[in-house]
């Protein structure tokens, strides 16, 4: 569907989910869910996933992904993350793949999430904003810079082609 940013790359999703540490029974928010790829993956372990995006085409795409994967435990919210999150009373983990108003989103998440909050950032400004917000809230755990390159066959051999580097910023209540 050509959503801006495209789906989270497999390796980045694997690391992000590992940092989230979702357990059976968990309620998980996917903020800026885009194509729904992370929501569907999280729904394999979590009891309930809240997939939030303000773009109707993202929610439509994510619904389709969820249906195709047989994931019946995802609730979809088309709207601004700040508004949607206000109405959710408790979360065990939250993934932020993209969002406007990131500091406000992190403020809200810090008050509701029992476990880990993981932000993916490609922009330097977002990295800075995520770390500064988490440090202000006293929940910053770590940031990881992931540089993934994949093999590609070319005439007579194999080389590595890099994908865009991603920052994975991790926070958690009481972990700082």
DSSP conformation class of 78: E
Q: Least distance to a second copy from the beta carbon of 92, Å?
A: 17
Residues 71, 45 contacting (CB under 8 angstroms): no
Q: Which is nearer to a second copy, 44 or 86 (CB)?
A: 44
Residues 51, 36 contacting (CB under 8 angstroms): yes
| Rounded-to-integer distance, Cα 72 and Cα 70, Å | 6
11 binds a second copy (CB under 8 A): yes
Q: Out of 8, 17, 74, 139, which residue is the one contacting a second copy (CB under 8 A)? A: 17
Q: What is the pairing mode between strands 48-53 and 74-78?
A: parallel
Number of residues located near a second copy, criterion CB under 8 A: 36
148 binds a second copy (CB under 8 A): yes
**Beta bridge partner(s), residue 109:** none
176 binds a second copy (CB under 8 A): no
Interacting stretch for a second copy, rule CB under 8 A, among 63-71, 79-87, 111-119, 149-157? 149-157
142 binds a second copy (CB under 8 A): yes
136 binds a second copy (CB under 8 A): no
83 binds a second copy (CB under 8 A): no
CB atoms within 10 A of CB 134: 26
Q: Least distance to a second copy from the beta carbon of 39, Å?
A: 16
Task: Identify residues 95-134 at the interface with a second copy (CB under 8 A).
Answer: 122-128, 131
Give whole-number Cα distances, 46 to 8, 17, 79, 119, 124, in Å: 19, 11, 22, 18, 31
154 binds a second copy (CB under 8 A): yes
Q: Minimal CA–CA distance to 133: which of 105, 111, 113?
A: 105
Q: Name the residues that contact a second copy, by CB under 8 A.
A: 10-11, 13-15, 17-18, 122-128, 131, 142-151, 154, 156-165
């Amino acid at each position: 569907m050509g959503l801006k940013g495209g789906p989270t790359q497999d390796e980045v999703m694997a690391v992000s989910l590992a940092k989230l540490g979702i357990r059976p029974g968990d309620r998980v928010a996917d903020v800026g869910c885009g194509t729904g790829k992370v929501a569907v993956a999280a729904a394999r372990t979590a009891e309930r996933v809240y997939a939030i995006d303000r773009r109707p085409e993202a929610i439509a795409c994510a619904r389709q992904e969820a249906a195709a994967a047989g994931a019946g435990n995802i609730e979809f919210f088309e709207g601004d993350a700040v508004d949607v999150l206000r109405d959710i009373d408790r979360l065990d983990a939250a993934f932020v793949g993209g969002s406007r108003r990131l500091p406000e989103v992190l403020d809200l998440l810090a008050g509701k999430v029992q476990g880990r909050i993981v932000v993916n950032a490609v922009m330097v400004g977002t990295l800075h904003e995520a770390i500064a917000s988490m440090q202000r809230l006293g929940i910053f755990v770590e940031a990881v810079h992931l540089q993934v390159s994949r093999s590609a066959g070319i005439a007579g051999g194999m080389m590595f082609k890099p994908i865009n580097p991603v920052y994975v910023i991790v926070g958690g209540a009481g972990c700082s």
